[in-house]
Amino acid sequence: MFDKAEFTKGVVSWKQLPRDGRPEIAFVGRSNVGKSSMLNAVMSRKKLAYVSKRPGKTTEFNFFLIDGKYYFVDLPGYGYARVSKSMREKWANLIEQYLDERQTLRAVVHLIDSRHPPMEQDEDLIDFMRGSDVPYLIALTKADKLSGNERFKTVQRLEKRLEEVGRSVPIILTSSKSGRGIKEMRGWLRDFLG
Ligand code: GDP
């Protein structure tokens, strides 16, 4: 599983979403959080690695067909400085509609940089997911950059914040560099898709 990834399409509106009914998992996180690296690490054969980032395409939902059966959807983070305010709002709306209404969505993986406290957009997503039934997990990225004690504190702080969400949200410490948490990620993704 997770052997082959093919970029399928970039989507800018609801009506462009694939209609083939394949189950999908959305990966959300602001630019530079380590999303591409994480997806590459999840794909088991390095040589067939996940398609690299497409510069300048941060305002598209990027659909990757995995093993011919599922989609991984790279969702743009929102609130980027480079797009206008009205553009940001349009994006936030589309993302929210997608998270709320997309029938084939099996899980949302929210990537947060373990070195920084959640940013405003992260806080918004955490709050948004409170009202959702879709399985939700948080992957803290770049965990190799923290000491053991810092990792512990970061997870503890986030757990406290998540208590308000009122449902259990798994938190995984990951590092694409050291491979930490990648097996665990694969396990979760497999379960979501199974
Ligand atoms: P994206 O914009 O979210 O797709 O982020 P990238 O995967 O392109 O990574 C952004 C930067 O963070 C790059 O310089 C990566 O080398 C670095 N990076 C990504 N993952 C890790 C990690 O696990 N550990 C460390 N130390 N750096 C990472």
ipTM: 0.99
CA-proximal residue: ligand 1, atom 15 (nearest) = 34
Backbone torsions φ then ψ of 97, nearest 5 degrees: -60, -45
pLDDT at 57: 56
Question: Is the torsion defined by CA of 188, 121, 132, 12 positive or negative?
Answer: negative
In short, whether 175's Cβ falls inside 6 Å of ligand 1 is: yes
In short, whether 184's Cβ falls inside 6 Å of ligand 1 is: no
**Bridge pairing between strands 70-75 and 24-28:** parallel
pLDDT at 54: 52
Q: Residue 169 C-alpha to ligand 1 middle, in angstroms?
A: 23
pLDDT at 80: 47
When mean pLDDT is compared over 2-11, 12-21, 112-121, the highest value belongs to 12-21
Q: How confident is the prediction for the chain on average, in pLDDT?
A: 87
Among 62, 97, 192, which residue's Cα sits nearest to residue 139? 192
Query: What predicted TM-score, i.e. pTM, was given to this entire model?
Result: 0.92
Using the predicted structure, report yes or no on whether residue 176 has a pLDDT greater than 60: yes
In short, whether 36's Cβ falls inside 6 Å of ligand 1 is: yes
105 Cβ partners below 8 Å, 6+ apart? 24, 25, 26, 98, 99, 134
Domain at 5-193, CATH from 3.40.50.300, 3.30.230.20, 3.10.20.600, 3.10.20.30: 3.40.50.300
In short, whether 176's Cβ falls inside 6 Å of ligand 1 is: yes
In short, whether 35's Cβ falls inside 6 Å of ligand 1 is: yes
pLDDT at 82: 54
In short, whether 32's Cβ falls inside 6 Å of ligand 1 is: yes
pLDDT in tens, 75-120: 876 544 456 777 777 777 888 899 999 999 999 999 999 999 888 8
The domain ranges of the chain are 5-193
Substitution candidate for ligand 1 out of 7, 27, 32, 37 with most atoms within 8 A of CB = 37
**Bridge pairing between strands 136-141 and 105-113:** parallel
